[in-house]
Amino acid sequence: MMSSQQFTTRALCRSVVLAGCVIAWPAAAAEPESATPVVAEVTASTATAPTPAQPLAADTALTTASITPSAPLPVDELVSPTAAGDVPKSTVASADRVEILDECPDIDVCVDRYLWALYERAPKLDKIRETERRVVTVKRKGRMVRVTRSFTRLVDNDFAWKDPKAAERVGQTMMEYVIGGMDRGFKMKLFQTLHAAEAAGLAPGITSGFRDDYRQEIASGLKAATNRSYHGGSLRGGYGHGLAADIVSVNGETRAQRWVATEQLWKWVDANGKSFGVGRPYLDRDPPHVGPVDGEEYTKHRTPAVKVAAAETRKHKRIAARSEHHAAKRGKAVRAAAPSSRRTG
């Protein structure tokens, strides 16, 4: 006789279907519980009838607090609405589909595997600003002089080696380091968000998860101080407390196509992320960066009440400074005029 708890857990594990990274577990009666995980990649050209993922059913959400997301807004409603009967013409190529077939003894393990699959399929490439100093000859006051000028250019940056090096440094596997270092609650929210984005056809990928101080130190481009990163800096709690990830879309064969698809993903997150508890705290300043909307980082940079309070504080400080300045000027004027008002003999 199977207990109700065992039935619920197995029902959950058998019903999770993830598009793009599809996690499906066969029924307990068909496979032994010690079945070996099988990972297979199926490209869009070989898949004859891909089935889009559906959000988890409400009756399977008993083993985790909020595994059932609300209905996401389709990406084509955000970017390019089409007629009801028309098939939208995609300008980007479909991403490879990954199927992970395994029993699900623990929901945390399954979420980690899902996020790891998204991390593995994302290209670790970006562009950074590089400053170069050159000695040039210019004309000043009728004569030629040599001066040093700074020139900034955008260069390709391949950072695929950085996470493996950081993981090796602490003696962990890549999955343990990149995914295991993130906060559990945030991982659940990120899973729900990216699962829904995958169902909307956005093919999300993760380029960065947990980062310790060493990993943050070797990061390039726009970044926080070494120990202050919300990805997992020591000042934020370190390993197991990472509250940030960087996401992109892997849709498209060329870099330009992937960039268009990535911007669509970010717009989708802005429109739907809050319903899953995930948002972009910096918007265009650091577009790929996402974190929990109830976290310190998002609250500090996006909550209107905080911004208004900060503005009011600055306003009061300016008013107080002006008042003190005027009072000081009046005091000086009185002291300067005092000797002339005296009468002598």
Q: What is the pLDDT of residue 266?
A: 97
The position carrying tokens 């060493």 is 214
Q: How far apart are CA 146 and CA 292, in angstroms?
A: 52
What integer pLDDT is reported at residue 339 of this predicted model? 55
Return the domain boundaries, the chain.
Answer: 4-75+93-124+159-302, 125-158, 305-338
Using alpha carbons, list the distances in angstroms from residue 30 to 10, 15, 27, 102: 12, 15, 5, 12
pLDDT at 112: 95
Tokens of 24: 């499906």
* 85 vs 236 pLDDT, higher one: 236
Top-confidence residue, 292 or 152: 292
Q: Render pLDDT for 110-131 as a digit per residue (tens, 0 to 9).
A: 999 999 999 999 999 888 788 8
- Over residues 284-312, the mean pLDDT reads 81
3-state percent breakdown (helix, strand, coil) of the chain, nearest 5: 40, 20, 40
pLDDT computed for residue 328 by the predictor:
62
CA–CA dist 146, 142 (Å, integer)? 13
Q: Which residue has the higher pLDDT, 304 or 216?
A: 216
Tokens describing residue 197? 């984005």
CA distance 45 to 110: 27
The Cα 109–Cα 322 span in angstroms is: 60
Q: What is the mean pLDDT of residues 166-194?
A: 97
Q: Residue 177: how many CB atoms within 10 A of its CB?
A: 24
The larger pLDDT score, comparing residue 56 to residue 170, is at 170
Contact 130, 155 (CB under 8 A): yes
Q: Which CATH class is domain 4-75+93-124+159-302?
A: alpha beta
Which residues does 140 contact at the CB level (< 8 Å), separation at least 6? none
Measured CA to CA, the distance from residue 86 to residue 216 in angstroms comes to 46
Beta strands of the chain (E only): which ranges?
A: 21-24, 38-42, 97-101, 125-140, 143-158, 204-208, 245-249, 278-279, 289-292
pLDDT of residue 320: 60
30 contacts 63 by C-beta, under 8 angstroms? no
Residue 62 has pLDDT above 90, yes or no: no
Helix (H) / strand (E) element for 268: namely helix 255-272
Looking at mean pLDDT, say which of 84-93, 285-294, 320-329 comes out highest: 285-294
| Residue 103: per-residue pLDDT | 61
CB of 156 within 8 A of CB of 75? no
Q: Exposed, middle or buried: residue 132 (CB in 10 Å: 0-12, 13-18, 19+)?
A: exposed
Tell me how far CA of residue 113 lies from CA of 51, 172, 175, 269, in angstroms: 20, 16, 8, 22
pLDDT of residue 101: 43
Residue with the bigger pLDDT between 59 and 183: it is 183
> Higher pLDDT residue, 83 or 301?
301
Confidence of residue 60 (pLDDT cuts 50, 70, 90): very low
User: What pLDDT, in 10s, does the model give residues 3-44?
Assistant: 444 444 444 444 443 344 334 333 333 343 433 333 334 333
Pairing of strands 97-101, 21-24: parallel
| In the chain, % of residues over pLDDT 70 | 58
Tokens of 324: 């003190």
Pick 160 or 106 by higher pLDDT. Answer: 160
Q: What's the rounded mean pLDDT across residues 155-173?
A: 93
Q: Where does the pLDDT of residue 311 fall: very low under 50, low under 70, confident under 90, or very high at 90 and above?
A: low
Q: Which residue has the higher pLDDT, 80 or 255?
A: 255
- Position with higher pLDDT, 343 vs 181: 181
pLDDT digits (tens, 9 = 90+) for 196-215: 999 999 999 999 999 999 99
DSSP reduced 3-state for 39: strand
- Mean pLDDT of the chain, nearest integer: 73
